[in-house]
Amino acid sequence: MIVDQFYLGCLSQASYLVADEVSRRAVVVDPRRDVSEYLAAAQQRGLSIELVVLTHVHADFVPGHTELATLTGAVIAMGEAAPVSFPIRRLSDGERIRLGDPDTGVMIEVLATPGHTPESITLAVYEQAMDEAPAAVLTGDTLFLGDVGRPDLLGSAGRTAADMARELYRSLRTKILPLPDEVLIYPGHGAGSACGKALSTDTVSTLGVQRVVNYALVPMTEDAFVTAVTEGLPDPPAYFSQEVALNRAGHDAFDPAATVAHIPAAEAVRHQQAGYLLLDVRDDQAFAAGHLRGAVNVGLSGRFAEYAAAVHAPDQPVILVGTPAEVVEARLRLARVGVDAVTGAVTDLEALIIQSELTRTQSRLTARQAAECIATVADLQVVDVRGPGEFAGGTLPGAVNLPLPRLRELMPALDPARPVLVHCAGGYRSIAAASLLRAHGFTDVSDLIGGWHAWQTERDGVTTG
């Protein structure tokens, strides 16, 4: 039995290749959109990818089923209830997919596990078809390590979070918890994903360990479970609704070798004024020192794809700003979240120095300067763009919580004519938020260098000094 995990840290997303070593037949589960790693792994082992399985309609990324099917001829499969409009093989509860010998070969059993979404499935992988129990379970977004899939996302439209939580309770207790303790649990996401509340940094565990450490698996009533998994859920990122719509409709195959037209800086600024997203993917220091007027900064060094998707409006054309290598990387990572409308790039970064009429600098304050600003500027708007849980742990005086993943839609809560001070945990999200506000007409926006960490350090230094 072959079970290879492919973990993408910047999206906290796991995908899998499952194969029979004898027959060389393989299945790929929840692939990301750039599929070269699966193809390379299959070629190295002499495997034939025959099936691509999606465990559910994803809300946080666009999977690479179209790409793999195009390149390998593999069939795309999902659970019976999948609400998609592209051709799929519909997998029924209890269906068995035999990859090798009927008795001694690898077998995958499909388990219908609604809860995260109505169509969610889990895949039980048997090392030998005749074994009484599976060796591993690919749980998708039904069961995470330390958590379970949140029941309130848009894949379950038309049903309340409590309704879906009850289905999740039954799925876990009838399909997964009866399995032996030694069964390996391979989840669809890890820590950092917005698809759960408290995901572990581990990427594989056993069911026995999860019975002990996962709050959602301890013995409890159905009502208690509903309360536990629905309390404290932050609002999902705004772009999740676009992702769900795209993943239900299907998408064209992504070509990583396609070139992006290079355009002059002045043309890029004109396009931004006409409604394009001018996305500067350099680091925050380079952006602050000089950037094109109207540009929004989301650096490649962090969780680029999800925050870039958050500042991107539906169907908005994108022009990238960065080095040639950064542009290639940014286009790939944008494609993973379905942002395909990259129409051009500015890679002549000398223009940011020479053409001063096209450029701006970013106002950034130290913690001490920010404290003075809060104390002296009467109409200052202080904005914390971290998540609600972070905000609850402490924030700057007078701050309102407008998380970056929802800032585009929450922006009307602010007055563009008044000065704004933005902060996050360390500065990555705050400069993205500050530049987004400026691109939407806010004239006086600063962000806090080092974020909440710097503020705490300065406060503690003053206290102890």
The three-class DSSP label of residue 171 is helix
The closest of 79, 102, 91 to 22, measured between CA atoms, is 102
Q: Which residues pair with 98 in a beta bridge?
A: 107
Using 50, 70 and 90 to split pLDDT, how confident is the model at 464? Answer: very low
- Closest C-alpha to 150, from 100, 188, 207: 188
Average of pLDDT values for 428-439? 97
CA end-to-end span of the chain, whole Å? 62
Q: Which domains does the chain have, with CATH numbers?
A: 2-249 (3.60.15.10), 265-360 (3.40.250.10), 363-464 (3.40.250.10)
Among candidate residues 406, 412, 356, 354, the one with its CA nearest the CA of residue 384 = 406
For position 198, what pLDDT does the model report? 75
**pLDDT tens track for 15-49:** 999 999 999 999 999 999 999 999 999 999 999 99
* Mean confidence (pLDDT) of the chain: 94
Q: Which distant-in-sequence residues (6+ apart) come within 8 Å of 404 by Cβ?
A: 307, 310, 311, 385, 386, 424, 429, 432, 433
Is a pLDDT exceeding 50 seen at residue 230?
yes
pLDDT > 70? residue 157:
no
CA distances from 70 to 6, 73, 298 (A): 20, 6, 32
445, β-bridge pairs: 420
Q: Per-residue pLDDT for 355 more than 80? A: no
Give me the mean pLDDT over the 1-21 stretch: 96
Please state which of the ranges 57-66, 187-196, 420-429 shows the lowest mean pLDDT. 187-196
Q: Is the pLDDT of residue 463 over 50?
A: no
Query: Which pLDDT score, from 0 to 100, does residue 156 have?
Result: 62
Q: From the CB of residue 48, how many other CB atoms can be counted at a distance below 10 Å?
A: 13
Residue 154: per-residue pLDDT: 64
Place of tokens 């938020």: 433
**Contact assessment for residue 75 and residue 81, using Cβ atoms and an 8 Å cutoff:** no
More confident residue, 30 or 354: 30
- Which pLDDT value is given to residue 155? 59
Whether 462 has a pLDDT exceeding 60, the answer reads: no
Residue 192 exposed, middle or buried by CB count within 10 Å (0-12, 13-18, 19+) = middle
Per-residue confidence (pLDDT) for residue 234, from 0 to 100: 81
CB atoms within 10 A of CB 411: 17
What value does the mean pLDDT take over residues 426-443? 96
pLDDT > 90 in the chain, percent: 88
CB 262 within 8 A of CB 275: no
- Dist. CA 121–CA 434, nearest whole Å: 41
Angle between the 65-72 and 36-45 helix axes, to the nearest 10 degrees? 40
* Sign, Cα dihedral of 52, 123, 241, 160: positive
Residue 10 main-chain phi, psi, to 5 deg = -70, -15
State the CB neighbour count (10 A cutoff) for residue 412.
8
What six digits make up the tokens of 267? 């043309």
pTM score: 0.92
